[in-house]
Amino acid sequence: MKKFLALVLTVVMAASLAACGNSGTKETQAPASGDSETAAESTAAESTGETAEKVGEGVDVKDLKVGFIFIGDENEGYTAAHYAGAKGMQEALGLSDDQIIIKWNIPEDETCYDAAVDLADQGCNIIFANSFGHESYILQAAAEFPDVQFCHATGYQAAGSGLANMHNYFTSIYESRYVSGVVAGMKLNEMIADGKITEDTAKVGYVGAYPYAEVISGFTSFFLGVRSQCPSATMEVKYTNSWASFDLEKECAESLIADKCVLISQHADTTGAPTACEAAGVPCVGYNIDMTSVAPNTALTSASMDWGVYYTYAVQCMLDGTAIDTDWCKGFAEGADKITALNDKTVAEGTEEKVKEVEDALIDGSLHVFDTSAFTVDGKELDTYKKGDTEYISDGYFHESEYGSAPAFDIAIDGITSITE
């Protein structure tokens, strides 16, 4: 059944992110870091842009041990990006392999609590968990191990937990999605100029995981990037109701292509959608990782992030004896967000220069992704949007991820059709 998205989720829980697909848990020591590309050399002070608060004596680097709880493994894009960040942190701080312990394929159930307890018992000073559904179990462990720092990606409960050792983190991924949307919009313009489509048929498809705020924020920022270059573009969103399912994502992309979508993007963690696009000859924008290995002739770029910036910051805080932010969210300016390398075979002429221009504007603050002059809701421009007592719109834009690390934008804007079945 088709219906326009009319979700205005009122709790940040709806921002649930990431992850999924898992099969069998295992633990490893981290292999040598190698030459991972990362901005992880940022110091704690550089990452926050503020003077860090001293909270005690730092941990001697030789005594430091870091634990990771991952929802998936290296074969799943979301966890692969986190793992790359962990390796970047290890390299930047000069940690040995036996100082990093990784729990792979940890589902969003009591297994997560057990993994956290085991890492604490093994002497980890700081423990990271990377999936939204891990949070309640991490909170439980944090309460039981007050001398261990616990950091949870994509969650929202740290600030209200009353636990000084509980932290939430995310990146301003909406910035990466906007930039990748610019790449897509330029491709649509090229297709129009070449006579492959018309302005009226510039319809983009989006493979979403769930109709949650994090996904809505992501596809809206992508669409706004598209529209900044191709104003006639529209977008259709379909959901898989799974964070990571190759088959469902592939089927969803195929359905969108059948609905006459001429370019596909995604908030889903596998290569299913790009695989469908390569078979159909439809340009695509991926997520987390470079998709050219499965879509060499159709992939344009992917919205991605460098988790190493946060991992290095948080672990450096442990070494320095300084406080870790309760909520941490950084973007292009700090090197935490990025797009993967542009595929020269597929992107439109001038894309590299335009990307540089847009990224520079995001960094210097002259461009705001959710500028309220760039979209309407039921034909009207928004001038206010509150959640509880917090006003999110001021100075002409929606202040995404500024009042908490988890995304909050959950507004249904004109030009996007959401299909749930």
Please tell me the predicted confidence (pLDDT) of residue 421.
Answer: 65
Nearest in space to 156 (alpha carbons), one of 307, 19, 327, 392: 327
Which tens digit of pLDDT belongs to each residue from 16-67? 333 433 445 678 765 544 444 444 444 344 444 455 677 678 999 999 999 9
Does residue 386 sit in the same domain as residue 256? yes
**Residue 76: band (very low, low, confident or very high) from pLDDT cuts 50, 70, 90:** confident
CA end-to-end span of the chain: 5
158, 131 Cβ separation under 8 angstroms: no
**Residue 330: band (very low, low, confident or very high) from pLDDT cuts 50, 70, 90:** very high
Which tens digit of pLDDT belongs to each residue from 170-205? 999 999 999 999 999 999 999 999 999 999 999 999
Cα distance between residue 366 and residue 241, in whole Å: 36
**What are the φ and ψ backbone dihedral angles of 158, each rounded to 5 degrees?**
-60, -45
Can you give the residue range of the structural domain that contains 177?
Answer: 173-304+338-419
Find the range with the poorest average confidence among 37-41, 362-366, 416-420.
37-41
Cα distance between residue 187 and residue 193, in whole Å: 10
Q: What is the mean pLDDT of the chain?
A: 90
Cα distance between residue 208 and residue 121, in whole Å: 38
Cα distance between residue 264 and residue 246, in whole Å: 15
Cα distance between residue 361 and residue 371, in whole Å: 13
Does residue 253 sit in the same domain as residue 393? yes
Please tell me the predicted confidence (pLDDT) of residue 116.
Answer: 98
Does residue 367 sit in the same domain as residue 393? yes
**332 lies in a domain?**
yes
Does residue 242 sit in the same domain as residue 280? yes
Alpha-helix runs per DSSP H in 6-109 = 44-48, 77-93
Write out the DSSP string of 108-142.
SSHHHHHHHHHHHHTT-SEEEE-SGGGHHHHHHHH
Which tens digit of pLDDT belongs to each residue from 218-227? 999 999 999 9
The arithmetic mean of pLDDT across residues 130-146, rounded, is: 96
**244 lies in a domain?**
yes
Cα distance between residue 279 and residue 282, in whole Å: 8
Does residue 234 sit in the same domain as residue 376? yes
How many structural domains compose the chain?
Answer: 2
Please tell me the predicted confidence (pLDDT) of residue 30.
Answer: 59
**What are the φ and ψ backbone dihedral angles of 14, each rounded to 5 degrees?**
-60, -10
Find the range with the poorest average confidence among 6-15, 216-225, 313-322.
6-15
Nearest in space to 83 (alpha carbons), one of 73, 92, 91: 73
**214 lies in a domain?**
yes
Which tens digit of pLDDT belongs to each residue from 226-246? 999 999 999 999 999 998 899
Rg over alpha carbons for the chain, rounded to the nearest Å, is 21
Does residue 49 sit in the same domain as residue 152? yes
Does residue 130 sit in the same domain as residue 199? no
Percent of the chain with pLDDT over 70: 88
Please tell me the predicted confidence (pLDDT) of residue 106.
Answer: 96
70, 24 Cβ separation under 8 angstroms: no
Please tell me the predicted confidence (pLDDT) of residue 55.
Answer: 66
Nearest in space to 245 (alpha carbons), one of 212, 267, 269: 269
The token duo for 402 is: 């500024």
